[in-house]
Amino acid sequence: MRLLLISNSTNYGEEYLGWPRQNIKNFLSASGIKNILFIPYAGVGLSADRFVKSYDLYEDKVNKVFNELGYGIISIHKDIEPVQAIKDAEAIAVGGGNTFHLVHMMQKIGIMDVIKERVLEGIPYMGWSAGSNVVCPSLMTTNDMPIIQPESFRCMSLVNFQINPHYLDASAQGHAGETREQRIEEFMIVNKNMPVVGLREGTLLQVEEDHISLKGARPMRYFRFGAEPQEFKPGSDINFLLK
């Protein structure tokens, strides 16, 4: 299993997929892959037009980056047989946006279990933000508004922990609501056996078979029910996450 789980696509002031670009290139460099199947269904807000136009814009945006790296992007929304497209894919990239809409569409067209099967067979999987959420057991640690109701909150369970992308340590100035840590603690009170990784912006998790590593400029925050949160810096041994 090969996974590249990116917290966020873009850091402030940078180009789209700017900060993780070298990580993506390194991840794919020895694979011999030429084309990547793109899943755009989280991209609801890219256009004021209908979703299809929104997906076209998203495909173009991602394609520009991957072309510069030497790869082609083919978006699944243009394929009349999406399940077969997954079965034929060399690699899969799942973009960020709204996780509820992403899960709704993956369940609706029947590709979630097929993606899981292909990833377990060894094809590379890349996801950023919502695309990282869906490798977890559920979408319940997303930050997104539930703009649509999926069939269920179930995701792919390619990892045995939850990810909270874009993890923030404190609330914005003037905000009196719960912090992100408090929200995660609420989740763990109800889901006591499910740990959560707070993945800060500018960081990613890379899985290569039975090894997982944290890469980027900042530490991750690890939450378990009944225990104090722990901090792990890039380069730390975090293989316990896969056990």
If phi > 0 it is left, if psi is from -120 to 50 it is alpha, else beta; for residue 174 that is: left
pLDDT digits (tens, 9 = 90+) for 32-83: 899 999 999 999 876 555 555 689 899 999 999 999 999 999 999 999 999 9
134-to-116, 149, 155 alpha-carbon distances in Å = 10, 15, 5
Residue 172 counted as domain residue: no
Residues of the chain with pLDDT below 50 are none
Assigned domain for 155 exists: yes
Residue 184 lies in a domain: no
d(CA 199, CA 218): 9
Predicted local distance difference test score (pLDDT) of residue 47: 59
- CATH code: domain of residue 113: 3.40.50.880
Active site residues: 129, 144, 166
Domain assignment of residue 183, yes or no = no
Residue 221 inside a domain? The answer is no
Confidence at residue 45, expressed as pLDDT on a 0 to 100 scale = 74
What is d(CA 102, CA 94) in angstroms, rounded to the nearest whole number?
9
Predicted confidence at residue 66, as pLDDT, reads 97
Predicted pLDDT of residue 53: 67
- 129 part of a folded domain: yes
Whether 79 is in a domain gets the answer yes
What pLDDT is recorded for position 99? 98
- Number of domains making up the chain: 1
Range of the domain at 212: 2-160+201-216+235-242
- Main-chain phi, psi angles of 222, to 5 degrees: -115, 125
**Domain contains 62:** yes
